[in-house]
Structure 1
Amino acid sequence: MDTDLASSLMVARTAQTQQSVQLAVFKKSHDMQTQLLDMLLQPAQAVLPPGQGTQVDKTA
C-alpha cells in the first residue's frame, strides 16, 4: 500500500515538473518571437524626415 502511494506521488510530481518545464519553454519561445517582431517592425515605425515621401519622383 505504501509503495503504491509513493509511486503515485512520484508520478504526479514528475508530471508537474514536466508541465512546469513545458510552460517555461513556451513562455521563453513567446518572448523570443515578440522580441524578433519588435526588432523587425522597429524600422517600419520610424518617422520620415520632413519633406521625404511627399512627392513621387516619376523620373526615377
Structure 2
Amino acid sequence: MDSDLSIQLTTSRAAVGAGSVQTAVLKKAAEAEASTATLVAEAVQSAPAPTGQGLKVDKYA
C-alpha cells in the first residue's frame, strides 16, 4: 500500500512540474510574439511612404 501511495505522489509531483514547464514555455512564446509584433510595428512606422503615396488625400479622385 505504501508503494502505491508513493507512486501516486511521485506522479502527482511530476504532473505539477510538467504544468509549470508548459506555463513557462507558453509565457516565453507569448513574449517572443509580442516582441516580434512590436518590431514589425516600429519598422512600418519608420519606413518612408512610397513615392506618390501617403502624402495627400485626393478628394477629387
TM range (shorter): 0.7 to 0.9
**% of aligned pairs identical?**
29
Output the amino acid matched with 1:43. A
Alpha-carbon distance in 1 for matches of 2:42, 2:19: 34
Question: What is the deviation of 1:53?
Answer: 1.6
- Which position in structure 2 is the counterpart of 1:16? 16
Question: What is the deviation of 1:42?
Answer: 1.1
Question: What is the deviation of 1:10?
Answer: 0.1
Question: What is the deviation of 1:55?
Answer: 6.7
Give structure 1 stretches of 5+ with no counterpart.
Answer: none
Helix, strand or coil at the partner of 1:16: helix
Alpha-carbon distance in 2 for matches of 1:53, 1:33: 32
TM (normalized to structure 1)?
0.73
- Which position in structure 1 is the counterpart of 2:4? 4
Output the amino acid matched with 1:53. L
Helix, strand or coil at the partner of 1:54: coil
Output the amino acid matched with 1:36. T
Output the amino acid matched with 2:56. T
TM (normalized to structure 2)?
0.72
- Which position in structure 1 is the counterpart of 2:51? none
